[in-house]
Chain A
Amino acid sequence: DAGITQSPRYKITETGRQVTLMCHQTWSHSYMFWYRQDLGHGLRLIYYSAAADITDKGEVPDGYVVSRSKTENFPLTLESATRSQTSVYFCASTLTSRQETQYFGPGTRLLVL
C-alpha cells in the first residue's frame, strides 16, 4: 500500500537547470496538488489537477509547469531553476473534490545553488 510517493526525496541543482519532481499515487484519487513550504506562509499552492489532462494554477505558479497524462502521476517541472525556488515541495491528493481531506506525500527537499 504505497499511497502517495514523491521522488526524488532530495535534490540539489544549479540555477538555470530544469528539474522535474515526481508525484505518484496509488489510490486513484481524482485531485492532485503541488505545494511549496515557505517560512511564514505555511503551504502555498503551486498547481492542482482535477483529473488527467486538467490542470489549473494556484497561488504561486510562476516558473513551474505541470502535466497529468495519467491519473496516478502529477510531475512538477521547474523550467529554469532559481534560488528562490529552494524549498520543500509537497504533493497531495483528494478523492473527488478540492474540499476533501488532503493526503500528503513525504515531500521533496530541493536546493538550488
Chain B
Amino acid sequence: ILNVEQSPQSLHVQEGDSTNFTCSFPSSNFYALHWYRWETAKSPEALFVMTLNGDEKKKGRISATLNTKEGYSYLYIKGSQPEDSATYLCAFFDNYGQNFVFGPGTRLSVLP
C-alpha cells in the first residue's frame, strides 16, 4: 500500500497571508503527482499534474514544486483569499500509473 502523507492536516491563515503545505510520497518508482482543490460540498477539481523532478507549476496565486528524489511536493498560495478556503489533495502515481493513492488532504481556512 502506497503511503502518501500531507501536512499540516489543517491550518487557518488571515486574508493576505501566504501559505504552503506539503505532500510526501515514496521516492521510488515515481510516475506522476496530482494536486486537487476540493471546496466543501463540491467535488475535487484538478490544479496541477506534475511529472518531472524539479517541475514548477503555477496557476494564478497558486504554485507547486516537485522533488521526486526526496519524495515531496509543496503547494504555495500567495496572498490567500477567503475563496481559497478548501481542502487540497495530492495524488501519487507510481509504476507508470499502475498504482495510485490520494493523500488525506490539507484543509485550509482563510479568515477575512
Q: Which residues of A contact B (CB under 8 A)?
A: 35, 40-45, 59, 90, 97-107
Query: CB < 8 Å: which of A41, A43, A98, A105 contacts B97?
Result: A98
Name 6 extra pairs, CB < 8 A, besides A35-B102, A45-B102, A102-B46: A40-B104, A97-B97, A98-B97, A99-B32, A101-B46, A102-B44
Query: Which residues of the other chain, A, contact B87 by a CB distance below 8 angstroms?
Result: 42
Closest chain-B Cβ to A32's Cβ sits at a distance in Å of: 14
Contact A42 B34 (CB under 8 A): no
Q: What is the interface of chain B, defined by CB distance below 8 A to chain A?
A: 1, 31-32, 34, 36, 42-46, 49, 87, 89, 91, 93, 96-98, 100-105
B100–A98 contact, CB under 8 A?
yes
Distance A90 CA – B49 CA, assembled complex (angstroms): 20
Q: Is the CB of A41 within 8 A of B49?
A: no
- Are B44 and A105 in contact, with the CB atoms below 8 A? no
**Is A42 a contact of B105 with CB atoms below 8 Å?**
yes
Give the nearest-CB partner of B6 in chain A. Answer: A42
Residues in A with CB closer than 8 Å to B89 are: 42-43
